[in-house]
Structure 1
Amino acid sequence: MSSLTCNHWVVGDVHGCYQPLQRLLGVLPKHDHVVFCGDVINRGPDTASTMQLVWSLVTAGRATWLRGNHEQALLQSLSDPELNSANPWLPRLQQLPTVFRGYGWVATHAGFDAAGHPDLTIREHFWEHYDGSHGLVVIGHTPRPEVERHGQIVMLDTGAVYGGQLSAYCPETEAVVQVEGIQKTTAAPRNRMAPLQQAVPC
């Protein structure tokens, strides 16, 4: 999905951080499209509410939820007919794409393999060998202290579940919006529009 009338905000790994996600969504522009780059689930305190919130945004057309390695693991578990054959999340997770393509950029969970296919667990090999063939690539998967840009790669997971921040990045303007993660929920939300490279705030 792409749009000529709105920007996009790619959100890093949420990992069940429901309250930070609520605060982040509260400061993002209401008419822009949100792209969750995978690992919406697990590790945090409220995966169930987080899943429901993100899925409600998807069904309303406000968001795209990409598959991460944690969604893939859950999908494989739910696919076992002896475990959860009637689980309502199975068909939903099966719909999750692995790539979202914008104009001159793509979002995916971790990167692409040597053949150019999405890889939900790749790290250094992609970082070191990416040739720019997909344009700017926005990824999560590997927690960093801050949003980082390395050439044509933007690394967006800032460890919200570990007491870092939950971050959103706008590929059209290079603006960043962040709120504090789960271990700092008593603090005031941090709404920071910070440029990576000569950004114009949305």
Structure 2
Amino acid sequence: MDKIERLLVFGDIHGKWERFLNVYQKVGFNPEHDLMVFLGDYLDRGENPVPVMEWVLEHFGSKNMIFLRGNHEQMFYEALRDESLKDGLVDFRIESPKYLWGDNGGKETYRAMEETGRLKELTTTWMRLIEKMPLYAEVEAEGHKYWFVHADCNPEQPLENQRAKTLLWSRNLAKYPSLHQGEQIIVLGHTPVQALRLGSKPCWLSQGRLVLMDTGSFLENGHISCANLLTKEVWQSN
């Protein structure tokens, strides 16, 4: 792509299929002119994760679409990677990957997958997909460098040198935006703006160099949000 006309980013979806589709249709993505980055957490908590899973499977690898891995994809992967499915999510060891995933919204995803009658197929295809999902993306547009990660990063370290646990789980920049003194624009999901008492829309902090995109998709008063980072135009679910 010679010139990106719209640099689009989606916040966390969390199995809210209808809300996601509502926003995606509003945006009118054009792969010839737009670049769209998804920040991860496609699954869990929401009541309709399977259509989201199937949509991501269908579009992964499409022109000018980037799908990052979130901590919920990581939990899914670790819970089901080496575990038998015959016992479902029954595991009373609090430290186990199965328990962690199930207790953080995985039960809803697992139940929805079971109801399709294609549990094994969906699990296998999604596991393979997660393995392909990058933990970060770096994009240059209109003279700025953009860093996309699901949860957090150290602005002073190259992305390729950062710990996966930080990229997937931490919340330092979201809680303490002043930690970012660099020139790159860092775009995060993972931490709902509602938890930080910042309203319910994407937030530009640190003189616009830190963007928070998780707008509480699974909350009653939450939204799924997409933003054009070049203009700060925002689309949200109804």
Q: Distance in 2 between matches of 1:173 and 1:114?
A: 23
2:169 to 107, 121, 146: 121
Pick which of 168-177 and 118-127 moved more. Answer: 118-127
Q: Distance in 1 between matches of 2:182 and 2:77?
A: 30
Q: Distance in 2 between matches of 1:159 and 1:3?
A: 34
- After TM superposition, the score normalised by the length of structure 2 is 0.67
* Equivalences for residues 60-99 of structure 1 within 5 A: 60-80=62-82, 82-83=84-85, 87-99=124-136
Deviations 1:53-106 (A, max 9, x none): 122222333521111110111111232154479712211110000112111112
Deviations 1:32-70 (A, max 9, x none): 232110111110011111111122222333521111110
Q: Distance in 2 between matches of 1:171 and 1:126?
A: 18
Which structure 2 segments of 5+ residues have no match?
Answer: 86-119, 194-199
Question: Structure 1 residue 13 and structure 2 residue 50: aligned?
Answer: no
1:131 to 171, 181, 189: 181
* Equivalences for residues 147-158 of structure 1 within 5 A: 147-151=202-206, 152-158=209-215
Instruction: Check the 8 A contact 1:37/1:140 in 2, yes or no.
Output: yes
SS of residue paired to 1:142: coil
- Residue identity in the other structure for 1:112: C
Relative distance call for 1:149 and 1:90 in structure 2 (3 A) is same
Pick which of 151-160 and 111-120 moved more. Answer: 111-120
SS of residue paired to 2:13: coil
SS of residue paired to 1:87: helix
Q: Distance in 2 between matches of 1:127 and 1:98?
A: 21
Instruction: Check the 8 A contact 1:166/1:178 in 2, yes or no.
Output: yes
| Aligned residue pair count | 178
Question: Structure 1 residue 159 and structure 2 residue 216: aligned?
Answer: yes
Instruction: Check the 8 A contact 1:169/1:175 in 2, yes or no.
Output: yes
- What does residue 115 of structure 2 align with? none
Relative distance call for 1:113 and 1:46 in structure 2 (3 A) is same
Relative distance call for 1:45 and 1:132 in structure 2 (3 A) is same
- After TM superposition, the score normalised by the length of structure 1 is 0.78
2:137 to 75, 78, 100: 100
Off by >4 Å, runs of 4+ in structure 1? 83-86
Determine what percentage of the aligned residue pairs are the same residue: 25
**Root mean square deviation of aligned Cα:** 2.3
Q: Distance in 2 between matches of 1:3 and 1:42?
A: 37
SS of residue paired to 2:187: strand
